[in-house]
Structure 1
Amino acid sequence: MEIFNIENKDAINITNCDEEPIHIPGSIQPHGYLLALHKKDLTVAFCSNNCPNLFGKPTTALLGAAIGSLITEEELTTLQTKLTEEKPDYSQPIVFTINGQECNVLVHMRGDWTVLEIEPFPDGRMNLPDLYSYTSNFVTHINQADTLQALCQAIAQQTRDITGYDRVMIYRFDDNYNGEVFAEALRDDLLPFLGHHYPHTDIPVQARQLYMLNMMRMIVDIDYAPVPIVTKNKDADNTQLDLSLSILRSVSSIHLEYLRNMGVKATLTISLIQDNKLWGMISCHHYTARNIPYFTRLSALLQGHFLTSQIRVREVQEEYKRWKQIENTLHTLQETINHSPNFVEEILGNKELLEMTDATGAIIGYNGLIESTGDVPKGAELDKMIAALRTAAKGQMYSTAKLKDIIALGSDYAGAIFIPLTEQDFIIWLKPEIVKHIYWAGNPTKAVEMDKGTSRLTPRKSFELYAEEVKDQSTPWSTPELRGAGELAYALQNQLLIKYAQENELRYKQMNAKLTHLNTELSTFNWISSHDLKEPLRKIQILISSITHSSREPQVNDKVTHTLTRIEQSARNMQTYVDDIALYSKVDTSGVPVPVDLNNVIERVLKTNGWNDDERYQFSIAKMPTVLGYKDQLELLFKNLFDNATKFSNGNVQISVDCKLANSDNSMAGNYYEISLTDNGIGFEHMYAEKIFLIFQRLHNRDKYPGSGIGLALCKKIMTNHNGDITARSTAGEGSVFKLYFPQDKTEN
């Protein structure tokens, strides 16, 4: 039977390692053995090429064999039981004795396969961990460690005690996955790496993804020769066997070269996962080959679980401690805001405003003014900064430790918090630049270098300490500082809104007093128009009439008669204006609106004005609704509209009135009755569609079409009184369409 090797032979180098499919290498490390079984019948589909050494059978005999033929019946039952568990714990191995050799067997399922990873005990014995002792020690560490870093240091030391590795480091990643050695336990003769930083390129994206899936990874000897995985299926390749969950999975040659350049011979890595994200890792280094029992590894993994259970607790604890400091300051400032009439000036004069956020300057913009305290930009530079922050904030709270990303202001201003209070008002805190030195394990800009001997790119060989100077950044704004800034801004916003409301209330009272005075004057004017002006006009008309028509008066010449006639006509026009002004002023909403049937209104208007009996006028009236309103005003509305249609006509007048349910042309909210009044009159140009509703606006000669020009303005006012609208559409010479929009009466619905 022919055997086929599925080991991945694709050429991988430093230029394409970020694309290397490290989860499907098609090979394993030689300190263990691998079988991949068909899920359905548990027959061997793949095996590592070293399996004959363990089972004492050739590869040809292993491939296709039922697993029951390779282990005891009791072991098969144990395996089958594990596979049928609802939630099997694949981190807990089972123990098989194969050819007299005791082995740990890890079982996991991936795709179509049940994968068995077999590791003989390194020292021939199964040493179970002292879980009570480890747990007891961890509780002691929790009680004694004041900070997260102190706890990490204790975990690093205990992990080294358990595993015996030369160096144990706890990495912490930043947001970009650059790593920092946060804690370290090591042999006395080794140089410490504590505080060193490693660029994110040291751990490619696909490697970080595997660390999320498989929390523990061991390399026994970086100089191992990979053991290929084989199968009898000639069409199979490395892509068919996913080893993401495998602990024996062969390692990228690039990573092995990286470790070789560091002088490391063996490693154990444990993932530290927090909030479904890789927070960091426990990284164990040894400078000679090292294989530790699986249960010892589990003990180290337990340390990782202990630590991850405390990471968020310690971070929150440290944040809470800072928050309590800020909260006391915040309470003092809030009291000032709530009880002082000059609260803006007073909080700016309180040094705690800056101490609360560890800032060096603060600015408050309110009511068109800009006040500040501490070190802040001046003049045009200040205006530019405010504009840049307002743009970046987009109406929300905005913070940055690198202000230079949006505007360059120099080293005095590197960090900012901007919080809008109203559309125009705001508060800003500022921090200066803090020049920071980051110590990298090797130059991060030279993660790869050219090998002089082979002329190929390799991982960096030098891990000599490299100091990077970071400028243009402030210290980061902490979560408690941002929370404190937000709560203070909220209190300030509320008090400013109250202040503005009080100022507006005073302004409205003053305006109301002026309006009351003006209304009184207007009422007086209306009374004068209705009474005092009418009386002289009547006397003028009577006197002129007596002069021109009395037989007792001497004859006057034609010129005088013409002049007197014009005076009399002007008096009549003035009388009309006075009457219309009085009528316009009386149309108000002082009464109580009642349901009004528009059918009755239109019928009464037609009958009262004699339009029903005049053959010159043809009316087509559809069924009208009942609306909530003022009966007298509605009669005046339709009288003016019909009067307008009959006046501006060319003889035979045709008027149709229709009604339907629709939305207003002016996008008024809600449902409206749309009543359309269409005539065949002289019409008007479209440009005058709004002008015709203005008081005293006329489009035609008064001699031909008499009137004051107040009729349609009166219609507009009546529709406004009814919470409705009126529009007009026309073409000169082709008639007009007036549309009335009445709100639906909810009681009718």
Structure 2
Amino acid sequence: MNSAARALDAAQLTACDREPIHLLGTLQPHGFLLAVQGPELRIVQASQNVPDRPGRAGADVIGRPLTEVFPGIAGALAGAATPQPEGEGARYLRTLDLDTADGPRRYDLAVHRSGPLAVVELEEAAAGADADLSLDALSPRLNAFVESLHRAGTVADLCGLLAAEARRVTGFDRALVYRFDRDWHGTVVAEDGNGVLPSYLDLRFPASDIPAQARELYRRNRLRIIPDAGYVPVPIVPAVPPSTGAPLDLSHSILRSVSPVHVEYMRNMGTMASMSVSILVDGRLWGLISCHNKAPRRVPLQARNACDLLTRVFALQLAAKERSAGAEERLRLGAVGGRLLGYMTEADSFAAGLVAHADDLLALAEAEGVAIVAGDQCRLVGRTPAKAEVQRLCEWLAARDGDEDVFATDALAEVYPPAADFTEVASGLLAIAVSQTSPNAVLWFRPEVVQTVRWGGDPTKAATPDPAGGPMRLHPRTSFEIWKETLRGRALPWSVAQIDAAKDLRAAILGIVLRRAEELAALSEELQRSNKELEAFSYSVSHDLRAPFRHIVGYSELLRTREGDRLSDKGRHYLDTIVEAAFSAGTLVDSLLTFSQMGRNALKRVFGDMNLLVEEVRRKVMRDVPAGRQIRWQVGSLGRVYADPVMLRLVVENLLSNAVKYSRGRPDAVIEVGRAPDDRGEAVFFVRDNGIGFDMAYVNKLFGVFQRLHRVEEFEGTGIGLANVRRIVERHGGRVWAEGALGQGATFHFTLPDRMEAR
């Protein structure tokens, strides 16, 4: 993140997080607290503002049974239907009158549990808690609010209704609906006010304004009120009771005092009273209703309870809308995923099926670019980084700790710094791994979306030393004037439905790959059986056919030697033809045997210098060239290769021999051997001559067994050399092809996988 807020030192940012705000040991003074223990409800802790009773000091309560000190409170607790479960918020029981030294006072009684203790809180009833705030009086307003929520078309409309109704019920000067983002920064998405306080609509506030432990308290205790930010905290005594040995946990307290940092924050905002209600959606903290008043203000318990009810109804409606929108998106993406599954099933490979229908593949994640990495191939569609960058990104993803099959981020450069070089096309990344053994993946990309954020004041906080020598402390901001910041390196975030659609596609791909692996296993078994039959056939050819040819040649020589004088010239010519044909047939049998064995010999790859190999083969080929023939050789820089040297020698020998043979009619024969540049991760070699060439209409016959484009009378050979070339190159993982024209020479190309170590 490039904002000033993210630039703060981590220790400074967590200073507030370490403050134990649920264990402050103090209360706000508009009520008092009693912590009781055991069946006799013995008071083990109390706030120092317990009111004096007629003839007895309020401080004289520790260690006494509640029935003796406040029998009315004890009776209310005994009349509760069920004890409050541990971990739940305070429950209002009733409003009662207590006799005090100053006369009768009305209190709202609430109770919650804190470990072995029952925490009893008595909040002095606010002025105005009358019949206008009774449930019967509020019901028409609540019903109207619920109906308006049903009619709201968008989440923004829902938030606007909630802000207006919360301010109407409480009478505060301003009511805000505040929504958290993924980094826990909050944005004011709705507001209702009377003009006394400034508007904060659409402003963003940094996560440090509501630190982590405060957010957790908001999740556990939905409602908090501060009637007067100028209050003097009331201590709870003793701070640590002997019976528990721990400070009292006030997480669910109604009267809990707040952090001094928060009180200072309120004063800096110009507000002396506030109330917040947590908005929980499926148990997570979605946001807050935050109400403020310029002057101190007490809000009756009935009004606060009404706001809590409004918020719960709002949260249910909000969750319903989010689920409905999510369901619609899932249905739409499910249809796209179904089509992609069909395409992959029909194609030769899952990658081919996806690339052939790139529009649907992009639509599945609403991305602008996608890369499919499968084996040694990287296919790119739309706006993406370069192939080399995608392959390095895949390697980084594969090397990450954990078993993440799906990776999603809308700020890639924050977790993968090299992505800073291509944020304009790939600030957002959604990736699925489609192999457990190699970095094969599908990666969707989203471009950078530059945003201008309006903060409610400079989000940085000055760290100041603790006068007592403690750690640095974040000082609350004193200004809330609009502070603009430009955010870069971020894309639109991926939705849950899009991430789930990517997971489903991954499962589909793995299913197809597994099915094809089973098919290949069956095919491999069949090929092994066929290979055994071929071996038997090869042995039969080598043994049974070669012997008759030897006999033909042998008896023909005997006939020439013993009976040659009796033969006419025509007879001797016939005899020579028989011998020549027998030799030719034997050569064909040997070539066929060599070709059949070529696929069974294991490759023994090593690194080697291609120029040295070509020079050795060139010298060997030139031994059979007549002394008077001139050939001009042009051999470029060929580099190193990783291949089986014996088989690669056969490839080079076949290609150079053919070039010499088919250019012998040229008085100025030129043969060129070179290496061409390529960006597909291959080493591309070529052999070019200026010989008789060939017609490209028959190029597909060149690499077939016993396929010839010229008569034997013109050029000798069996027609199996180029078939061996193709078989050897393909076994290395390469390709072969040829180009030519009649009378203008020919060029034969072959490739080998390029390895960094060979360069």
Q: TM-score range by the shorter chain?
A: 0.5 to 0.7
Map of 1:211 onto structure 2: 218
Correspondence 1:461 to 2:478? yes
CA distance in 1, matches of 2:327, 2:410: 22
- 1:91 CA displacement: 2.0
Tell me which residue corresponds to 1:260.
267
Report the Cα distance in structure 1 between the residues aligned to 2:148 and 2:292, rounded to whole angstroms: 23
Contact 1:30 1:227 survives alignment (8 Å): yes
Task: Tell me what 2:18 maps to.
Answer: 19
Q: 2:456 aligns with which of 437, 441, 449?
A: 441
Deviations 1:187-226 (A, max 9, x none): 2454332222222222233323332332211111001122
Which residue is equivalent to 1:402?
411
CA distance in 1, matches of 2:264, 2:426: 44
Aligned twin of 1:181: 188
Residue equivalent to 2:251? 244
In the alignment, is the contact (CA less than 8 A) between 1:361 and 1:429 conserved in 2? yes
Residue aligned with 1:93, SS: strand
Q: Is 2:393 aligned against 1:385?
A: yes
* Aligned position for 2:377: 369
Could you tell me which runs of 5 or more consecutive residues in structure 2 were left unpaired when the two chains were aligned.
Answer: 1-11, 467-471, 546-759
Q: How does 1:100-111 map to 2 (within 5 A)?
A: 100-111=104-115
Give the number of the structure whose alpha-carbon radius of gyration is greater.
Answer: 1
In 1, distance between residues paired with 2:517 and 2:378? 16
Q: What CA deviation, in whole Å up to 9, does each residue of 1:675-719 have, x standing for no partner? A: xxxxxxxxxxxxxxxxxxxxxxxxxxxxxxxxxxxxxxxxxxxxx
Determine which of 126, 131, 135 is the counterpart of 1:129: 135
**What SS does the aligned partner of 1:312 have?**
helix
Please give the residue correspondences for 1:312-323 in structure 2 after superposition, counting only pairs within 5 Å: 312-323=319-330
Q: Whole-Å Cα distance in 1 between the matches of residues 452 and 473 of structure 2?
A: 32
Displaced runs of 4 or more, over 6 A: 232-238, 523-528
Aligned residue among 102, 107, 119 for 1:115: 119
SS of 2:312's equivalent in the other structure is helix
> What whole-Å deviation, never above 9, does each CA across 1:570-591 have from its counterpart, x for those lacking one?
xxxxxxxxxxxxxxxxxxxxxx
Distance 1:342 1:41 in 2: 76
Q: d(CA) in 2 for partners of 1:233 and 1:359?
A: 58
CA distance in 2, matches of 1:172, 1:274: 12
The equivalent of 2:739 in structure 1 is none
Q: Retained in 1: the 8 A contact 2:159–2:190?
A: yes
Q: Helix, strand or coil for the counterpart of 1:517?
A: helix
1:302 and 2:309 equivalent?
A: yes
- Residue 254 of structure 1 and its aligned partner are, at CA, apart by 1.5
Q: Relative to 1, partners in 2 of residues 1:505 and 1:141: Cα closer, same or farther, differing over 3 Å? A: same
Residue number in structure 1 paired with 2:427: 414
2:555 maps to what in 1? none
- Note if 1:430 corresponds to 2:428: no
Which residue number corresponds to residue 288 of structure 1? 295
SS for the counterpart of 1:390 is helix
Note the C-alpha offset of 1:233.
10
1:14, 1:526 → 2: CA distance? 86
- Seen in structure 2, the aligned counterparts of structure 1 residues 514 and 141 have a Cα distance that, compared at 3 Å, is same
Q: Is the 8 A contact 2:89 2:221 kept in 1?
A: no
Q: Does the 8 Å CA contact 2:13/2:208 hold for their aligned counterparts?
A: no
Aligned mates of 1:290, 1:238 — CA distance in 2: 37
CA offsets 1:439-476 (integer angstroms, 9 cap, x no match): 2222222265799xxx9973110112222222222211
> Are residues 386 and 48 of structure 1, via their aligned partners in 2, closer, same or farther at CA, if it must alter by over 3 Å?
closer
Please, which moves more after superposition, 183-192 or 501-510? Answer: 501-510
Q: Kindly state the Cα deviation for residue 44 of structure 1 after the two structures are TM-superposed.
A: 4.0
C-alpha separation in 2, matches of 1:391 and 1:241: 47
Q: Equivalent residue for 1:98? A: 98
Superposition map of 1:549-698 within 5 A: none
Matched, 1:352 2:360: yes
- Structure 1 residues 237-246 or 180-189, which shifts more? 237-246
Aligned length: 513
Query: 1:606 aligns to what?
Result: none
Q: Identity of paired residues, percent? A: 30
Of the candidates 64, 80, 83, which is equivalent to residue 82 of structure 1? 80
Q: Which moves more between the two structures, 400-409 or 262-271?
A: 400-409
Counterpart Cα distance in 2 of 1:499 and 1:303:
56
Counterpart Cα distance in 2 of 1:27 and 1:66: 23
- Would the alpha carbon gap of residues 237 and 257 (structure 1) be closer, same or farther in structure 2, given more than 3 Å must change? farther
The whole-number CA distance in structure 1 between the counterparts of 2:240 and 2:331 is 66
Counterpart residue identity of residue 228, structure 1: P
Question: What's the CA shift for 1:388?
Answer: 2.7
The SS at the match of 1:466 is strand
Identify the residue that residue 531 of structure 2 maps to in structure 1. 514
How far is the alpha carbon of 1:25 from its aligned partner? 3.0
Per-residue deviation, 1:76: 4.0
Partner Cα separation in structure 2 for residue 125 and residue 474 of structure 1: 50
Q: Is the 8 A contact 1:138 1:306 kept in 2?
A: no
Change (3 A) 1:66 1:126: farther
